[in-house]
Chain A
Amino acid sequence: MLQGWSIVLASLAYLGVLFAIAWWADRRADSGRSVIANPTVYALSLAVYCTTWTFYGSVGRAAATGIGFLPIYLGPTLMLSLGWFVLHKMVRVAKANRITSIADFVASRYGKSPLLGGLVTIIAVVGVVPYIALQLKAVSNSFTILLHHPDIVMPTGLGAVPLLQDSALYVAVGMAAFTILFGTRHLDATERHEGMVAAIAFESVVKLAAFFAVGLFVTYGLHGGFQHIFDQAELVPRLAKLMVAGDSAANYGSWAALTFLSMLSVLLLPRQFQIAVVENVNPDHVRRAVWLFPLYLFLINIFVLPIALGGLLRFPTGVDADTFVLTLPMAEQGEALALFVFIGGLSAATGMVIVETIALSTMVCNDLVMPVLLRWKSLGLAERRDLSGLLLEIRRWAIAAILMLGYGYFRLAGEAYALVGIGLISFAAVAQFAPVLFGGLYWKGGTREGALAGLLAGFVVWAYTLLLPSFSKSGWLPAEFLSHGPFGIELLRPQQLFGLAGLDEISHCLLWSLLANVGAYLALSLRRAPDAMEARQANLFVDAPVGGGSLSSWRGSARVADLLALVERFLGVERARTALGRYARSRGASRIEELQADAHLIHFAESLLAGAIGSASAHVMVASVVEEEPLGLDEVMNILDEASQVRAYSRELETKSRELEQATQELREANERLREVDRMKDDFISTVTHELRTPLTSIRAFSEMLFEDPKIDLAERSRFLGIIVSETERLTRLINQILDLAKLESGRADWTPVAVDLSEIVRESMESVSQLYRDKGVTLECSLPASGLEVMADRDRLMQVFLNLLSNAVKFVAPGTGRVEVDVAATDDAVQVSVTDNGPGIAHEDHEVIFEKFRQGTGNNGTLTDKPQGTGLGLPISRQIIEYFGGRLWVESPPPGSAMAGARFIFTLPLPTTQKEQT
């Protein structure tokens, strides 16, 4: 059954399913119903971390070192469960700044430097090519093994196989074609590939299922469970060793190094960055990955040790432990299972290759090729109308080239290492990104030169201590290079650099490369302060403000048509128009041409372009369109200081704007009050005018009439003259009172308080009004202490108050039966005087009204038949006078049923302290 063609057919069928899933997911995404906007899908897609290394290689490593296969999975578990906030921040920052790859991330952080982007890309490609070779090796090996069923044959002498008969070549070509079809159908501004993510999540499930299947088969099918296998292994001394962790320091060191390395790799491998950061739909999905991804790792590793032991028990010699997952079912005639396992391995390989090459080709296109092409004037790219097709072509060629490089490495160096060894080389390579990336995320001091120096130093040391030795071990470089150092210099031996022996090669490489990397990074970063661009990007990345950074510091003008043409060139006409049209509508215009080419629009165009060609190139292109104002020397100096100044200014601006808000609010309130007062003043003036003009009207009218007609009879003449006189008096009184009031209210009253005898004043005022009272037949009584009550006041003014109260009282009581009582009493620190009448009283709601200017106690429906001859100013003035001397004046209504049931006016005046002492 396991003929060549059937295996191939099964493989093609599986790839077809992957393709279908991807296509379906893309369709759903286009219609807005994304299938991958799901935290579980996100977490599963992270499992692209598990490649054929996991599938085949873990068992191989377990067979050699027992649980020494674990650190590779311990690292990601620790990273996700304890350090997930780092990933969360990376995702947030990447989204806010429209990052499309790890090269873009680093380049953008250190001032949008194209050089950095290119360097990161080169390191990534060189570092990951071995890893791709590993996948090719695994697939081709497993294919070969399966093909020889029922015999168990190990593939050997790979390099010797003629090129055209090498299955690995066809695997490479096949994967290239598949990836090109998969990932380069169109350009997306965000570089997201929903279909790919869905397919990856699917294949994560497939490889877990396949591994579980063979695991169950071995553990429960071939043996009687976990305990049974371990018991059997104990019996074999060689195997018994495997189940105990090694105790040497080297072992611990190796564990630490591997764990550390895998912690970094789960984020920094280009495919991991692509899936975890770029393809992420929602930063909050990270939370589910925190437990789901470690769970997946746990599940896929449960059966590793049993399978390894089972394999060693079954095949004591002659069979590579790497192949146990395949050869064990094959040895038991489990063809279907073996095929399933093969598909699982294929799944793991294709997942890795697809994502890795897409990520790498994006970087190569955006950060390596395009910057060079754009600067190459002779190509005239700046004038080409539509570059989107060119971009896609570049990516396709990049994918093909990367896979061919992978195949090349496979033929040259793949022989010397077991699978795991190759993978670790790649891990160590991407570990070089850690200082610049994590430094860039948490430290604002990193500069472009520092990043460049760090990366270069780390890369060179890595290549020297790990990559070249791998060639040497395959025979491509002379072996003396390893054993005696270059040109015989022992101190520079690649894997015992400067005499540091005793470390395994990974720890050794890690130590030196990271030392060089971090050292160079720090040293060059601290040499100068970050410039404006770096500082700005540092703020965006380290502070990661929610809602994205502020507008780009574009100074200058651009024409909308130019921007439009630029975006169309790189995105394609249709996509450009769609995106810009949406933007225009969000700003309230129907077409993009209607908008102003302000900093906002320029920034938006830049971010659109960044998705297609990377942020560094986008910045350059937009700069070519925007006519920047020329900088004078002063401005240059200012910009250099900008970094620190801007921060200080913005803080100051915040406080200033808050103060401004407050001031505006206060101003608004003051204006309101002013308007109110103005209105009251208008009312007052209008009322005063009316009150003054009314008596004047009578005076004038009667005067004129008397003047016109001398023949008016005497009776009428005297009557008219009498009215004139009284109206004149009324007018005079009014004017006096108004002046009083004006003086009081403006504070210009300057009455000096002297000691006055209250009782004496009361008696005098009563005397003054006695005639008035007699005329109306109203009784006036008082109860006073004889003398001795002295207050500090003005004599005349106090008299004025009394007269006002007494004359009010007599006005409102009934003639004949009217009664007014005056009562004076003293407390410890004040004297209280009350004037009570038995008139109609004052309604409760009018108690305060009567103290208002020109208001008289008649209410809206005047119940009094006689309109009292008053000005309506007496009480307000009295109150002002009393308050001027520190007292209070108010009115009370005595309880109904009491003898004097009218109104009671009460005022208090403070007693001077000397008086208090006397009483």
Chain B
Amino acid sequence: MKKILIVDDEANIVISLEFLMKKEGFHVAVANDGEEALELIASFAPDLVLLDVMMPKKSGYEVCEAVRRNPERAGLKIVMLTAKGRETEIAKGLALGADAYITKPFSTKDLVAKVRSVLGDA
């Protein structure tokens, strides 16, 4: 069973994502800010991270950068989530090493599909 880490500072969004992912059969962990996210990446060792960008303490960009700098986590997939949809933001995220980028509000179907495709299985 694949492990997914959900990172977002908005409690309600976390709830929705958690429910969604669990329903799809993933093992889910939750972090509310960037620092917690890095800790859980280390301890929970997820296969994919659903990463919000605008967060206190450490932004999603910083987390992405940190993860990509660590060669041990090379296989970790990162999907960035944000309400900011400007092209520069998307480009920045992808440049920092995210594998995919989804804008809020998202369609739950699209989100699931993207997670699965990034994880590379059916």
* Chain A contacts to B: CB under 8 angstroms: 686, 689-702, 704-705, 708-709, 716, 720, 723, 727, 858, 861-862, 867
Contact = CB atoms under 8 A, between A and B. Distances in A.
Contacts of B85: 689
Given A690-B83, A867-B9, A697 B108 contact: no
A689 B84 contact: yes
Interface stretch (B14-22, B36-44, B72-80, B113-121): B14-22
B56 A705 contact: no
Given A686-B84, A686-B86, A861-B57, A696 B108 contact: no
Nearest to A696: B105
B67 to A, nearest CB: 22
A727 B12 contact: yes
B104 interface: yes
Contacts of A686: 84, 86
B2 interface: no
Given A700-B105, A704-B108, A709-B23, A694 B13 contact: yes
Given A696-B105, A697-B104, A708-B108, A690 B54 contact: yes
6 contacts: A698-B13, A700-B108, A704-B109, A705-B108, A708-B108, A867-B11
Contacts of A690: 54, 82-84
B111 to A, nearest CB: 8
B24 to A, nearest CB: 11
B26 interface: no
Interface of chain A: mostly helix, strand, loop or mixed: helix
A862 B34 CA distance: 13
A699 B84 contact: no
A705 B12 CA distance: 13
A716 B84 CA distance: 30
B107 interface: yes
A701 B20 contact: yes
A701 B56 contact: no
Given A696-B105, A697-B83, A697-B105, A705 B13 contact: no
Nearest to B107: A704
A693 B108 contact: no
Nearest to B89: A686
Contacts of B15: 723
Given A686-B84, A689-B84, A702 B16 contact: yes
Nearest to A685: B86
B54 A699 contact: no
B105 A701 contact: yes
Interface of B: 9-13, 15-17, 19-20, 23, 54, 56-57, 82-86, 103-109
A753 to B, nearest CB: 38
Contact of A696 (B84, B86, B104, B107): B104
Contacts of B19: 705, 716, 720
Contacts of B105: 693, 696-697, 699-701
Contacts of B16: 697-698, 701-702, 705, 720, 723
Most-contacted residue by chain B among A697, A699, A723 (CB, 10 A): A697
A677 B114 CA distance: 38
Contact of B12 (A693, A723, A858, A862): A723
Contacts of A723: 12, 15-16
Contacts of A697: 10, 13, 16, 83, 104-106
B13 A858 contact: no
A702 B83 CA distance: 17
Nearest to B103: A693
B83 A694 contact: yes
Contact of B104 (A693, A705, A720): A693
A701 B9 contact: no
Contacts of A689: 83-85
Nearest to A700: B105
A701 B54 contact: no
A708 B24 CA distance: 13
Contacts of B82: 690
A694 B16 CA distance: 12
Contact of B106 (A691, A701, A705, A720): A701
B41 to A, nearest CB: 21
Nearest to A692: B83
A698 B108 contact: no
Given A701-B106, A704-B109, A861-B57, A693 B83 contact: yes
Nearest to A693: B83
Contacts of A693: 83, 103-105
Contacts of A705: 16, 19-20, 23, 108
B106 A700 contact: yes
Nearest to A682: B86
Nearest to B85: A689
A702 B16 CA distance: 6
A720 B56 CA distance: 25
Nearest to A858: B56
Contacts of B11: 867
Contacts of A692: 83
Contact of A698 (B12, B86, B103, B109): B12
Contacts of B84: 686, 689-690
Contacts of B23: 705, 709
Nearest to B20: A705
A698 B10 contact: yes
Nearest to B23: A709
A867 B13 CA distance: 14
A543 to B, nearest CB: 61
Contacts of B86: 686
B110 to A, nearest CB: 10
Most-contacted residue by chain B among A701, A704, A705, A720 (CB, 10 A): A701
Nearest to A866: B11
Contact of A701 (B57, B83, B103, B108): B108
B7 to A, nearest CB: 14
B115 to A, nearest CB: 14
Contacts of B104: 693-694, 696-697
A861 B58 CA distance: 10
B17 to A, nearest CB: 7
A691 B15 CA distance: 18
A709 B24 CA distance: 12
A5 to B, nearest CB: 105
Contacts of A708: 108-109
A414 B101 CA distance: 114
A698 B105 CA distance: 8
Contacts of B106: 697, 700-701
A720 to B, nearest CB: 8
Contacts of A861: 56-57
Nearest to B56: A862
Contacts of B54: 690
B20 to A, nearest CB: 6
A648 B70 CA distance: 76
B52 to A, nearest CB: 10
B19 to A, nearest CB: 6
A686 B86 CA distance: 9
